[in-house]
Structure 1
Amino acid sequence: MEKIKVMHIIRAAEGGMKKHLLSILLGLDKEKYQLAVGCSFDKNTSDYLHENGVLVYHVDICDGLNVSKDASAIIKIRNMIRDFKPEIIHFHGAKASLIGRFACFGYNLKIVMTVHNFPEYKRMNKIKKRLYLSMNKYLNKKTNAIITVSEALKRAIVDEENIAPEKVKVIYNCVDLSTYVDNPSLDFRKEYNLEPDTLLIGCISRLIPSKGVQDLIKALEILKGRVKVFAFVAGDGPYLNYLQDMVQKAKLENIRFLGYRNDINDFLRNIDIFVLPSHSEGFGISVAEAMTLGVPVIATNVGGIPEIIENNEDGIIVNPESPNDLANAIEILATNTDLRNKFSKKGREYIVSNFSKEKMLNDIDILYENLRRK
C-alpha cells in the first residue's frame, strides 16, 4: 500500500508546541505514513528526526509580519511542497499557519492547522486586528480542518474568527516524557545545600510577561518568614533580565533561574510542588507532565488549565495575576503533606487515563483518514 504523505510546518518553537509536534512525527505509524517537516529545529533534533524516518526541510518563519522574510518563507514552503508532494499539509501555530496557507495556493492539498495558543487580537491596535482577522477568516475557508488543544481555545477562535464549530476539533496535547534526556544525577538539595524541611517549588516556562513568572517572584516575597521554600525556574526568554532584577530588588535568596533544560523528567522528580502562574495558556503541557510524575500542582485559571485540573481534587487553581492567591496556595500545600499526597495520586491517575500519547495519535490518524475520504 502506498504511504500517505504528510508534511508538517512549524516556526522556531520550544515548549508545548514543539513537544506536541515531535510526539506526532515520532509516533505516527511509519508503515502507513511518510512524514516530512519544515522547521528551524536545532541540529540534534533534526538529526534525531531524520534517524527516525522523517524528512527534514529547513525553513525560517519569523514572528510578526515582515514582507521580505515572509515572502522568502512562502517561496521556500512552495519549493518543499513541489519536492515532497504531500497529500496533507499540517501547520502548527498562528504564524506558520498564516504564511503556510498562502503558500498552498494553486496546490491540491488537504490543509490542517493546529491552534496552540490564544489569538492575540486584544493586544493589537484596530488596524492590525482588522488585517489579521480578515486574513484568517479568508484562509479558514480554504482550510479543511482546524485542531485546537483545548475546549477553551476552540471557543475562543470560533467566537473571534466566526468559524463553524463543526470545523474545529479538540485534540488534547499528550504527555510524552520519552523525548527528554535523563539526568539521574540531578540533586537540587545537594547542589544548593538545601535543608530537608525546605519545600522545593518548580516552574517550567518561557520567560515572557504572559507566563506570569513575575507573579511567582512576588508570591515568594509575600511568603518570606511564613514557609521554607526554594524555587527553581526552568526556561529562557527575553524577560530574564527583568525577572532577575525583580529578585534582586526583593532581596530573595530562594529562587534560581536554570535556563533551558532538556532533563525535565529529573527536574520534576527533584521538586515537591509545581507552579504554573500563566496569564494565558492554550493547554498547559508542563502541568500535565508534572502530574504524570506525581508532582502536586498549582496553576492559574486560564485557557485549558481547568480541563486538566479539578480544583482541590487533584490540584489547586488560583486566579491569574494574583500573587496573594498564589502565595496562599503555596503555603497550603507546603504545610499539608496529606494534601500533597492526595494530589500526587489523583493527578497522576487522571492524566494517565485522559492524555495518553496513544489517544492523541489515534485522534490525528482518524482526522487524516476522514480528510482523505472527502
Structure 2
Amino acid sequence: MSETNPFKITMLGPSLLQQGGISGYEKLFLEYAPAEVKICHIITHEEGNVAKKIMVFLKAIWKFIWILLRQEVDIVQLQISQRGSILRQAIMMLLAWVFHKPIIIHAHGSQFHLFYAGLPKSMQRLLGWIFRKCQRLIVLSESWKSFYIENLGLKPEQVVVFYNPVKIPAELPQRSVSGKVNLLFLGRIGQRKGAFDLIKAISFLPIQHRTRASLIMAGDGDVEQARNLVTTLNLEDYIKLPGWIGSNERDILLAQADVFLLPSYNEGLPLAMLEAMAWELPVIVTPVGGIPEIVTHLENGLIVNPGNPEQLSNSLKSLIENENLRLSLGVKARKSVFTLDIKNHWISFLDLYHSILNSNVELSLKS
C-alpha cells in the first residue's frame, strides 16, 4: 500500500478520553500511525450511565454498518478486554464476518481467563466459534497465546504475540540521589493491582527506611478506600494519592521517580510498567501475565509474589538502601524495552496487514 492507496483500517475500541490501558494503547497507536495507513476509530464504549453506554454502542453499530456498506474498510481491528467488552465486540465481529472483512482481534484483558472460566459451557463454545472467525488474534504474551489456543480452539498460526509498545524518552534525568527515594505506582487503585498490599508494605518498612522514602500512587478506582487505609496505618507523611493524572503529569512523575511498583494479581502486559522501564526505572512487579517474559529477577527488576506485602516490603528495603542496585537495574530495564519501541510495533503491524490482505487475495483467486 502507498499514501495514495492506503490501508483502510476500522479500529473499534473505547473512547480515547477513557482512563485505562486500552485507551492508552489506542492513543499511542494512532499517534504513530504511518502515512500509508488510514484509520477510522469507532468508539464502542464510553464511561457514563447505562443509557449513555447503550447510545454510544448503538451509534457505533450504525457507523460501522455504514462503513461496511460503502466498502470503506480493508481490515477490521477490534480492541477487547473482558465482560461487556467481549459482548460488544462479538457483535461487531459477526457484522465484519457477514460482510467478509478480515478481522484482527487485539486481546488486552488481564482477567479474561477468569471471565471465560465463569461462563456456561454453551457460551464458551459460542465464544470460541466467534473468535475462530478472525484472521489473527493478537495477544500480549506467549502465556496468553497458549491460553487462547488451548481454550478457544484457535489454530497456532492464527494467534500472534505482539508485546505492548512504548515510547522511549530521548532524555533522562540524573537519578543519583542523596535525599529521599521517590517511589511510584501508576494504575487503577484496587485489589487487582496490589495497591492495598503496597500500602501495607510501606507500613512494614523499618522506620529508618520509611523516612527515606516517599510513595505516590496515581490512578482512579478505590482511592478513598486506599486513603482510609493510609490514615489507619498512620502513613499520611509517606504516601500521597492524587487520583487520576494526565499524560504530562505522568511523565513528570516518571522523571522524578527512583523506583516503580506494580504488585498486581492479574495482568496482560502493563503499559505503565513498560513506560517506567523506558524511563530507566527499576521495577518491582509480580510474575503474572506477560510480565515474566519482560522482567527477570535481579537482572532488570525485582519479582515478588502477588499478595505478599512482607516480601514486597523487603524488596523495597533493598532498593531504598542500595543506590547502585537501583541504578543498575534501571539501566538494564531501559535497554530491555528498546525493541518494544512504538516504531518497531508499527513495522510489525504493517507486515501483519500485508500478510492478511495477501492471503485474502489468494483465497479470492482460488474461489
Same fold per superposition (TM over 0.5): yes
One of 41, 58, 67 as aligned partner of 1:37: 41
Please list the CA deviations of residues 157-208 of structure 1 after superposition, one character each: whole Å capped at 9, or x if unmatched. 2222222222100011111267xxx9x9xxxxxxxxxx96321100100123
Which amino acid is the alignment partner of residue 7 of structure 1?
Answer: T
Task: State the shift of 1:21 in Å.
Answer: 2.0
Q: Distance in 2 between matches of 1:120 and 1:93?
A: 10
Match for 1:172 among 147, 150, 163? 163
Query: Cα–Cα, structure 1 residues 88 and 367, in superposed 2: closer, same or farther, change >3 Å?
Result: same
* Closer/same/farther in 2, CA of residues 164 and 319 from structure 1, 3 Å limit: same
Structure 2 partner of 1:223: 205
- 172 and 125 in structure 1: CA distance in 2 versus 1, 3 angstrom threshold: closer
In the alignment, which residue of structure 1 is the partner of 2:218?
234
Could you say which residue in structure 1 is the equivalent of 2:102? 110
List per-residue Cα deviations over 1:340-360 (Å, max 9, x = no partner): 1111211111212x2111221
Aligned-partner Cα distance in 2 for 1:173–1:121 = 19
The CA RMSD over aligned residues, in Å, is 2.7
CA drift at 1:279: 0.8
**Larger displacement relative to structure 2 (73-82 or 219-228):** 73-82
Tell me the equivalent position of 1:56.
none
Aligned position for 2:149: 158
State the one-letter code of the partner of 2:183.
I
Could you tell me which residue of structure 2 aligns to residue 85 of structure 1? 72
Structure 2 counterparts to residues 239-318 of structure 1, below 5 A: 239-253=222-236, 254-261=238-245, 262-263=247-248, 264-318=250-304
Aligned partner of 1:3 in structure 2 is 6
In the alignment, which residue of structure 2 is the partner of 1:144?
Answer: 135
Counterpart amino acid of residue 162 in structure 1: G
Counterpart residue identity of residue 259, structure 1: G
Distance 1:275 1:83 in 2: 48
Determine the structure 2 residue equivalent to 1:17: 22
**Matches of 1:351 and 1:146, distance apart in 2:** 23
Deviations 1:316-363 (A, max 9, x none): 0111111111101000110101101111211111212x2111221111
Query: How far, CA to CA, are the matches of 1:7 and 1:120 in structure 2?
Result: 24
Name the amino acid aligned to 1:225: I
Matched, 1:203 2:189: no
**Structure 1 residues 121 and 308: CA distance shift in structure 2, 3 A:** closer
Decide whether aligned partners of structure 1 residues 135 and 118 sit closer, same or farther in structure 2, where only a CA change above 3 A counts. farther
Change (3 A) 1:271 1:119: closer
Task: Confirm or deny: 8 A CA contact 1:119 1:157 kept in the other structure.
Answer: no
Give the conservation status (yes or no) of the 8 Å contact 1:206–1:235.
Answer: yes
Taking every aligned residue pair, what percent have the same amino acid on both sides?
24
Q: Which residue of 2 aligns with 1:27?
A: 32
Change (3 A) 1:166 1:77: same
Alignment partners' CA distance in 2, 1:131 and 1:200: 50
- The alignment of Structure 1 onto Structure 2 pairs a total of residues equal to 336
Shift of 1:8: 0.5
Q: How does 1:63-78 map to 2 (within 5 A)?
A: 73-78=60-65
2:362 maps to none
Alignment of 1:301-340 (within 5 A): 301-340=287-326
SS in 2 for 1:104: helix
Deviation at 1:132, TM superposition (A): 4.4
Q: Could you say if the C-alpha distance between residues 323 and 171 of structure 1 is closer, same or farther in structure 2, counting changes exceeding 3 Å?
A: same
Measured in 1, the distance between the counterparts of 2:116 and 2:294 equals 29
Q: Which position in structure 2 is the counterpart of 1:373?
A: 358
Runs (5+) with no aligned partner, structure 1: 40-58, 185-194
Instruction: Output the CA distance in 1 between the equivalents of 2:7 and 2:267.
Output: 33
Question: Secondary structure of 1:313's match?
Answer: coil
